[in-house]
Amino acid sequence: MARKKHKGLEYRILIIPTFDETLKKAGTLFLIETVKQFSNFNYEVVVEDHRLDDTTIWSLHGLRAPELSMPSFGAARFRKVYFDVKGKHNFILRKIDGEENLFVLKISSSSVSILSQPEHVFASLYTSQELFEQHREQELDRPVHKPDIKRLLLHSATKKK
């Protein structure tokens, strides 16, 4: 399959240590969100995940509309907590067109650090909630208001008479 030309930043990823109060277990939170903001629904990113020893592969399959049809604004998201990820770990994010980003991480119960990442990324990776939030505004792709062409044409036609 021919790979498409790189389009730039499309996703933001947060990987941080977390603690599940219900299970009373420490784990690692993996969260992905699109840089594209949606004005009608908060979509969910459809992800198929595979774990192979020290490698986690997330295959992105697109977006899914939420079960509740309440209008809302924001990025599409997917989140998952793994309770058995420790040490040197490979995280691969694979898009439907075959393009992938490989991040090599060092994960402990108190921190996550990036050991290496690809040169051309379509996903920015953060290991700090603060940095993830600070850079959100710069990375977001906000929806652009598009005028209703039919209404404009009808309005201008009635004005001329």
Burial class (CB in 10 A: 0-12, 13-18, 19+), 24: exposed
Q: Where are the domains of the chain?
A: 11-160
The full DSSP string for 89-142 is: EEEEEE-TTS-EEEEEEEE-SS-EEEEE--SS-SEEEES-HHHHHHTHHHH-BP
Helix (H) / strand (E) element for 26: namely strand 25-38
pLDDT on residue 154: 58
pLDDT on residue 17: 96
pLDDT on residue 2: 41
Whether the per-residue pLDDT at 120 is higher than 90: the answer is no
Q: How many CB atoms are located within 10 Å of the residue 63 CB?
A: 15
Whether the per-residue pLDDT at 74 is higher than 90: the answer is no
pLDDT on residue 98: 93
pLDDT on residue 58: 96
pLDDT on residue 106: 97
- Percent of the chain at pLDDT exceeding 90: 58
Average pLDDT of the chain is 84
**Tokens standing for residue 148:** 């209703």
Q: Helix or strand or coil: residue 53?
A: coil
Angle at 14 between CA 72 and CA 93, to 5 degrees: 95
For the stretch 75-105, pLDDT in tens is 889 999 999 999 999 999 999 999 999 999 9
Whether the per-residue pLDDT at 158 is higher than 80: the answer is no
Q: Rg for the chain (alpha carbons), in Å?
A: 20
For the stretch 105-116, pLDDT in tens is 999 989 999 999
100 close to 92: Cβ distance less than 8 angstroms: yes
SS3 percent helix, strand, coil of the chain, rounded to 5, is 15, 50, 40
Whether the per-residue pLDDT at 147 is higher than 50: the answer is yes
Q: How many residues does the chain have?
A: 161
Confidence of residue 37 (pLDDT cuts 50, 70, 90): confident
121 close to 114: Cβ distance less than 8 angstroms: no
Whether the per-residue pLDDT at 142 is higher than 50: the answer is yes
54 close to 87: Cβ distance less than 8 angstroms: yes
